[in-house]
Structure 1
Amino acid sequence: MAKQPTTEQDNYSSSSSLEDEIEFVDDGTFTSIGEDSMRKRTSSDTSEHKETFISVDDTDHPLEAKNTIHVSQQLTKDSKNKVYSHPSSVQNFKSMEDSSFMQLDISRPLLLAIRQLGWEVPTPIQEKVIPLALVGRDICASAVTGSGKTGAFAVPILEKLWRSANKVSAVRVLVILPTRELALQCKQVFVQLGKNMDVDMELAIGGLSLRAEQDVLQRCPDIVIGTPGRIIDHIRNTKSFSLDDVEIVVLDEADRLLDLGFSEELEEIIRCCSPRRQTLLFSATMTSSVQQLALLSLKEAANIVVDPLYEVSKTLEQEFVWISDGNNWNKRISYLLALCCRTYTHRVILFFSKRSIAHQVFIIFRILGLSAVELHGNLSQAQRIEALNYFRQGHCEFLLCTDVASRGLDIFDVRTVINFEMPKDIRTYVHRVGRTARAGAMGIAVTLVDETSRRLLSVIQKRSKTNLKSRSITDSVLNKYLETLFGIQDQIKEQLQSERQDKELEMAEMEVKKAQNLVFHADEIYARPKRTWFRSSSTKKQKTKRKR
């Protein structure tokens, strides 16, 4: 069995145990962490917290302070009972005339689609972004997860295309996202909102048929939604595909785009777009690299900030499970099985630090009869789409994934998020637990913690507006699942060995097929124009490592 890797946390010099700070109780009951200190902190921080919504700090943002709009996501007195524009919101809807979307000067076809989605009241970010985007302003928006930012740019884009029908065949809108899953999700929102409009939209993402993408892009769809690498590929190698006439560019999840090493690709794409374009940039965090990207791509932009960074939903209940020996793989798996077999059994997303760990846990779940799918980078794009849809449609209860799914994915009715180990930083933690407790719904986040988690747990406690809770698992329950795990060790090894053999056979068959193609289709293959590349994936990885 693989050894459990340690998380990327600093070693602590303090000799006191984490158990001194958390009172653990019997399985099934809870105790709050630092209730007195939390109460004091909350009361003393209230006035400061309110001020952050109206103050301007031009050192944190690349734009003029006078252009900064700070918005709170807290509900106002008049809006507490209304439905916010989020696809997970399902309540009784009021008439279209009562909806404040009517006040945003939006056409009837788009209003009808908004109503059919169940959106009544714009979220704070939508309320500020949509009017500015409609008049052509560049925008730099810092929006936390679950704030409705996809709707914030999709609504004005579709409205502007509807108002100014262009008879010339050209790509008019380019939306850039960091991952394929987010691109697919973004397109789904555009399709739902544009169902009553004659607007063409296509994807440009890796993992799908390149030739099929080339065929549709050569017909110049109105909107192209894609990832940087594939967009660059089409710019260089797809005939008749050009960004010269692009009117609007959206950079979504800009901090994640830069974290993945796409800075040079983004600069190249922006250079290929019309200088007269409108640019909308959205980022969960405003790092120095995001500020540099904003300076490069935006002109006289309005800077919009929604709530302080790194805050979790107020409807999220956070629980922590102490593991005395965090490096003991079998023990950690046993804790996880106890949680998933006894307590959290419905609509659960589990996060892991590595793809190999997620896959091994998936094998264990499958052997034990727990309905689960996995989502990580070792799967093909088709497999990832299938797994995501399978979980979305409620055909299984557990989604086992790495952080590829922790950013921006909107999955309806996720009840619980479980972190197999503490994430490496507060930003990753907030993004992970943000998959539940969305749009005002209740949710639970459970994290397995050990001594290496001390510092980040302290940060989470200081930033939390609600008391944290601890959960313990009795020795008798833990021993039961340890025995279960030892009993299936041989099955786990056999499954892993079988998969390795299948992979080797698949690679051999692929090489044979390549050789056959070269023999029987040599003239056609060598007659094709040689593809050019912006830079290789290995070069990008090396540069990203040097930056870190």
Structure 2
Amino acid sequence: MSAKTNASPSAAQEAEAHPVALVPSATDAESPADESPVPDAGESAAPQPLFSDLGLSDPIQRAIDDMGYRHPTPIQAQAIPYVLMGRDVLGVAQTGTGKTASFTLPMLEILSGSRARARMPRSLILEPTRELALQVAENFVNYGKYLKLNHALLIGGESMAEQKDVLNRGVDVLIATPGRLIDLFERGGLLLTQTRLLVIDEADRMLDMGFIPDIEKIVAMLSPVRQTLFFSATMAPEIRRLADMFLQNPKEITVSRPSSVATTIETGLVVVDEADKRRVLRRMLRDDAVQNAIVFCNRKRDVDVLYKSLVKHDFSAGALHGDLPQSVRFATLERFKSGELKILVCSDVAARGIDIGGLSHVFNFDLPFHAEDYVHRIGRTGRAGRSGHAYSLATPYDRALAEAIETLIGHAIPRLEVEGVTQLEWSEESGTRGGRGRGRGKGKAPDRRGGKPDRARNDATPVEDKAEPVAPPQPVSAPVPPPSPAAVPAEAASPRRSGPNRQRDRDRDRHAEDGISGQNGTVIGFGDDVPAFMTLPRRGPAIVPGVDEVIDETA
């Protein structure tokens, strides 16, 4: 059952009455047809280019026409001619602007003139995730259906033997994730000396996932005489350093300012208590305007919890995160693409591996820890000139995360008014949520050892303020057998401690004499009610004769 049909009549009427109320902004007045703003203001007045003007061959143009595309996006219009010229390209474009087609289309044109040799791929595309690799492979299938070119996927979760068999037959395009590529290369199943075209896609995600050492190792395997295409959603200093390392005199193409939000996306923010987030999300998902939606969570555990909650409330939902088997992830994604599932709950691992045409809504159930991920998440909607909606839920303790996002995108996220939901103000304790659990922001974080705030321990009376009870001196006598454990004082039986642990033990012993355990006057342990098993007689330890005694007995 979809999120649209599982709402009751009253809920549907309520949804029509309260969809959204946003603070007007300058971007709301712009035409939704401008999918990807170009920095040069003069280009907006120029006529839109056509794919037929880019110099692509007839088989590729026919495939483009079959898919219903006439006008390339800015990154495609600027990158394709330079790739066809053989130039290195450094492309910076936000998610959803058509980066994939900007290199797949010219690659098909370049590779259409010859054939591949066994175990020697002619071109290599590196992707950070399996989902992105599958997405690129789908592009090659769609755009290259009138060409006699083949491709191979080299990703985890699939049979290594089958992938080696495909490579042995020769491939024109190898699409791989870094880990599996290095693994197969070290086993001798791959040669990269004939690879003349390299694509490094989503370089910023590669950096985030720690793949840069692997990328450097792979580039060292390639011939220095090659063409390299380098694409990234952002241009941080680390990305610039990598581009300078891998590219030679590249053509730099930037179609939008780094980490900007497309003007076709309507954004909004709802600040509620942690315990109310699922209820508020369900209310928003029942809006008739929600045709399909992706809901992002920060943690895989939260993906599972939210998915089960939505299914329990009769939403047509699926879950997608990195711990799921590859077959399950692929099947879930296909069900969502086909419309069988209306809601997809996923983690950031899948944020860039999802290419859904006509996605109406994106919901951030959690504000992302990294502000750049906000742009990556909401870039799933508002594509191809369509309007999109990206709404975020936050708690009063997420102020720092929200401010980081607003600083990155250059404007405030307007508050979203939802009928029946009372929004909260930001908390001044916006850094105290710590830990992985939820709802721990109200007050000081508990101490792991005692379960009470540190302030309570600091307010306790110092040990030095009271004299320790002194036991009467014991007469010294000849050596006697060791006493039973019951006769040994607790302080003597346990090893001596120092620092806070010893102070805590001494406070506990002192309070035990008074019958209390601290400021609240609670009884320590069982109090006067001693369980029966603790009163049973205990067997004393065996007395081991000393060495001298053993010698005397054996003499």
TM-score w.r.t. length of structure 2 = 0.67
In structure 1, C-alpha distance between the alignment counterparts of 2:26 and 2:163, rounded to whole Å: 56
Correspondence for 1:78 among 44, 47, 68 = 47
Correspondence for 1:53 among 33, 39, 42 = 39
Correspondence for 1:198 among 120, 135, 148 = 148
Correspondence for 1:249 among 172, 195, 198 = 198
Correspondence for 1:266 among 190, 215, 218 = 215
Give the AA of the match of 1:474: G
Q: CA deviation at 1:467?
A: 7.8
Give the AA of the match of 1:421: D
Greater alpha carbon shift after TM alignment, 101-110 vs 429-438: 101-110
User: Number of residue pairs matched?
Assistant: 400
- Which structure has the higher relative contact order (CA within 8 Å, separation 6+)? 1
RMSD: 2.8
Asked if the contact 2:131–2:353 (Cα under 8 Å) also holds between the matched residues in 1, the reply is: no
Correspondence for 1:231 among 170, 181, 202 = 181
Asked if the contact 1:218–1:238 (Cα under 8 Å) also holds between the matched residues in 2, the reply is: no
Matched with 1:496 is none
1:18-33 aligned at under 5 Å gives the runs 28=18, 30-33=20-23
Asked if the contact 1:27–1:472 (Cα under 8 Å) also holds between the matched residues in 2, the reply is: no
Correspondence for 2:417 among 465, 471, 490 = 471
Secondary structure in structure 2 of the residue aligned to 1:451: coil
Asked if the contact 2:123–2:196 (Cα under 8 Å) also holds between the matched residues in 1, the reply is: yes
Correspondence for 2:124 among 174, 179, 189 = 174
Larger radius of gyration: 2
In structure 1, C-alpha distance between the alignment counterparts of 2:333 and 2:132, rounded to whole Å: 11
Query: 1:29-83: CA deviations, max 9, x gaps?
Result: 65444x5xx669x99xxxxxx9x935xxxxxxxxxxxxxxxxx79744523xxxx
In structure 1, C-alpha distance between the alignment counterparts of 2:403 and 2:102, rounded to whole Å: 34
Matched with 2:256 is 307
Q: CA deviation at 1:293?
A: 1.7
In structure 2, C-alpha distance between the alignment counterparts of 1:101 and 1:389, rounded to whole Å: 29
Give the AA of the match of 1:247: R
Query: 1:235-280: CA deviations, max 9, x gaps?
Result: 11143x2111001000000010111001111011101111111100
Give the AA of the match of 2:387: M
Q: CA deviation at 1:156?
A: 0.9
Secondary structure in structure 1 of the residue aligned to 2:416: strand
Give the AA of the match of 2:297: F
Give the AA of the match of 1:452: Y
Matched with 1:144 is 94
Asked if the contact 2:117–2:170 (Cα under 8 Å) also holds between the matched residues in 1, the reply is: no
Asked if the contact 1:30–1:469 (Cα under 8 Å) also holds between the matched residues in 2, the reply is: no
Rate the CA distance shift 1:367–1:39 in 2: closer, same or farther, 3 A. closer
Rate the CA distance shift 1:39–1:256 in 2: closer, same or farther, 3 A. closer
Secondary structure in structure 1 of the residue aligned to 2:304: helix
In structure 2, C-alpha distance between the alignment counterparts of 1:259 and 1:389, rounded to whole Å: 27
Secondary structure in structure 2 of the residue aligned to 1:471: coil
Secondary structure in structure 2 of the residue aligned to 1:304: strand
More helix by share: 1
Asked if the contact 2:153–2:175 (Cα under 8 Å) also holds between the matched residues in 1, the reply is: yes
Q: Percent identity?
A: 34
Matched, 1:279 2:228: yes
User: Any gaps of 5 or more consecutive residues in structure 2?
Assistant: 1-15, 31-36, 423-555
Matched with 1:380 is 325
Rate the CA distance shift 1:475–1:352 in 2: closer, same or farther, 3 A. closer
Matched with 1:356 is 301
Matched with 1:60 is none
Q: CA deviation at 1:332?
A: 1.8
In structure 2, C-alpha distance between the alignment counterparts of 1:400 and 1:430, rounded to whole Å: 17
Matched with 1:161 is 111
Matched with 2:64 is 114
Matched, 1:183 2:151: no
Asked if the contact 1:214–1:238 (Cα under 8 Å) also holds between the matched residues in 2, the reply is: no
Give the AA of the match of 2:105: V
Give the AA of the match of 2:207: L
Q: CA deviation at 1:27?
A: 7.4
Give the AA of the match of 1:307: S
In structure 1, C-alpha distance between the alignment counterparts of 2:405 and 2:116, rounded to whole Å: 53
In structure 2, C-alpha distance between the alignment counterparts of 1:422 and 1:166, rounded to whole Å: 48
Rate the CA distance shift 1:280–1:167 in 2: closer, same or farther, 3 A. closer
1:427-442 aligned at under 5 Å gives the runs 427-442=372-387
Give the AA of the match of 1:270: V
TM-score w.r.t. length of structure 1 = 0.68
